C-alpha cells in the first residue's frame, strides 16, 4: 500500500533510538522528508546517517531537550525554516524512572510532568500554525499501554502518560475543524533500550536476571513474545499518513493483546 508520504514533512522527537528511530526510518523509506530530535547530539547524528544510508533520503538531526520549556518552539521554528512547513508531528519522549509511589519527591514528579506531558503540549502548540497550512496535518503522541492497564513499579509513567491521552483526545475534538488529526499509540513491551533498563530494575527488585524478567513478561502476551520496534513503526506510519485521513481521536494499543480490557 502506498501511504502517500512522499515529500511530506515529518518531525519525530525522541528519535535517536527505539520507537522514535524506527518510526523515522520507516517514514523516510516511504519518501517523507524527516527531521529527528533527541538530547544526545552524537547518537542522534549517527541515527540520521544510518537512516539516510538505508533509505537514500536526507534526514535532518536537531538536538535539544523537549522538556526545556523554550526548546519546542525553537525546534518547530527550525523545521519550518529549513523545510518550509510541517505535515506530521510525532511527539515522543523517554519514560520516567521506575519506582513505587513513596520513592519519588515533588521534583521527580515535576520532571516527569515536564518531559511526559508538557513536552507534548509545547510541541503541539508551537506546531499549530504550520499544521494549519498543511493539506494532510497529523499529530501522533506516543504514550504507553499503562494508560489502560497500570504497570507495577511505574507510578510516574502510569499517571503522567494518562494525561497525555486526555490531551490527545481533547485536541482531536477541539481542532478537527482545522483538519488536523490527533491520535496516540499505546505501545506494550517492545524491544528497546528503555525496556532493557526496566527489566534490569525488575531483576534487582526480584533477585532474578533481566533475561528471566523478559521471559516472564513475554509469557503474559497472547503472542508469547515482545514487539519489535518495526512493528510499532508500521502502525505509526499508517496513522500519520494521508491513507488514514478519517482516523482521529484514536488511542491505538500496539501491545500484542496484553491489555486485558475490552476497550
Q: What is the pLDDT along the chain (263 residues), one digit of tens a residue?
A: 899 999 999 999 999 999 999 999 999 999 999 999 999 999 999 999 999 999 999 999 999 999 999 999 999 999 999 999 999 999 999 889 989 999 999 999 999 999 999 999 999 999 999 999 999 999 999 999 999 999 988 999 999 999 999 999 999 999 999 999 999 999 998 998 888 888 888 888 889 999 999 898 888 899 999 999 999 999 999 999 999 999 999 999 999 998 988 77
In a domain, 262, yes or no: no
C-alpha span between 258 and 15 (Å, rounded): 25
- Domain check: are 74 and 162 in the same one? yes
- Domain check: are 176 and 155 in the same one? yes
C-alpha span between 40 and 14 (Å, rounded): 10
- Domain check: are 176 and 235 in the same one? yes
The per-type count for the chain, helices as H runs and strands as E runs, is 9, 7
- Domain check: are 142 and 25 in the same one? yes
CATH classification of the domain holding 83: 3.40.50.720
- Domain check: are 180 and 133 in the same one? yes
CB-side neighbour CA atoms (13 Å) of 212: 9
| Beta carbons of 52 and 59 less than 8 angstroms apart | yes
- Domain check: are 44 and 159 in the same one? yes
- Domain check: are 161 and 222 in the same one? no
In a domain, 261, yes or no: no
Residue (of 123, 196, 209, 194) closest to 157 by Cα position: 194
- Domain check: are 238 and 219 in the same one? no
In a domain, 259, yes or no: no
Please name the residue that has the C-alpha cell 488536523.
Answer: 180
Q: Domain count of the chain? A: 2
216's CB contacts (< 8 A; 6+ apart) are none
- Domain check: are 200 and 123 in the same one? no
| Beta carbons of 108 and 156 less than 8 angstroms apart | yes
Residue (of 152, 144, 150) closest to 98 by Cα position: 152
- Domain check: are 85 and 200 in the same one? no
pTM of the predicted model, to two decimals?
A: 0.94
- Domain check: are 98 and 119 in the same one? yes
C-alpha span between 119 and 122 (Å, rounded): 5
Residues in the chain: 263
Domain that holds residue 207: 191-226
State the alpha helices, DSSP H only, in the chain: 18-29, 41-55, 71-83, 106-113, 119-132, 155-174, 193-206, 210-219, 229-240
pLDDT of residue 174: 97
- Domain check: are 155 and 220 in the same one? no
In a domain, 85, yes or no: yes
| Beta carbons of 203 and 214 less than 8 angstroms apart | no
C-alpha span between 54 and 34 (Å, rounded): 13
Amino acid at each position: 500500500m502506498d501511504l502517500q508520504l512522499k515529500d511530506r514533512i515529518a518531525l519525530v522527537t525522541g528519535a535517536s533510538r527505539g520507537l522514535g528511530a524506527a518510526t523515522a526510518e520507516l517514514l523516510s523509506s516511504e519518501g517523507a522528508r524527516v527531521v529527528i530530535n533527541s538530547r544526545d547530539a552524537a547518537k542522534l547524528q549517527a541515527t540520521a546517517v544510518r537512516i539516510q544510508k538505508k533509505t537514500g533520503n536526507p534526514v535532518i538531526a536537531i538536538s535539544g531537550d523537549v522538556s526545556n520549556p523554550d526548546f519546542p518552539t525553537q525546534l518547530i521554528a527550525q523545521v519550518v525554516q529549513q523545510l518550509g512547513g510541517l505535515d506530521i508531528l510525532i511527539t515522543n519522549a523517554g519514560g520516567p524512572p521506575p519506582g513505587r509511589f513513596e520513592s519519588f519527591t515533588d521534583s521527580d514528579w515535576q520532571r516527569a510532568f515536564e518531559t511526559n506531558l508538557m513536552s507534548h503540549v509545547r510541541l503541539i502548540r508551537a506546531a499549530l500554525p504550520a499544521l494549519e497550512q498543511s493539506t494532510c496535518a497529523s499529530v501522533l503522541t506516543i504514550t504507553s499501554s499503562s494508560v489502560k492497564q497500570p504497570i507495577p513499579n511505574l507510578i510516574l509513567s502510569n499517571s503522567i502518560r494518562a494525561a497525555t491521552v486526555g490531551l490527545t483526545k481533547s485536541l482531536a475534538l477541539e481542532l478537527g475543524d482545522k483538519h488536523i488529526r490527533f491520535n496516540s499509540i499505546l505501545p506494550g513491551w517492545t524491544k528497546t533500550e528503555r525496556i532493557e533498563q526496566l527489566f534490569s530494575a525488575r531483576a534487582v527488585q526480584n533477585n532474578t536476571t533481566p533475561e528471566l524478567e523478559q521471559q516472564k513478561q513475554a509469557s503474559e502476551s497472547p503472542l508469547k513474545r515482545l514487539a519489535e520496534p518495526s512493528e510499532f513503526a508500521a502502525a505509526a506510519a499508517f496513522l500519520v499518513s494521508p491513507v488514514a485521513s478519517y482516523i482521529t481521536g484514536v488511542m491505538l494499543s500496539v501491545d500484542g493483546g496484553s491489555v486485558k480490557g475490552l476497550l
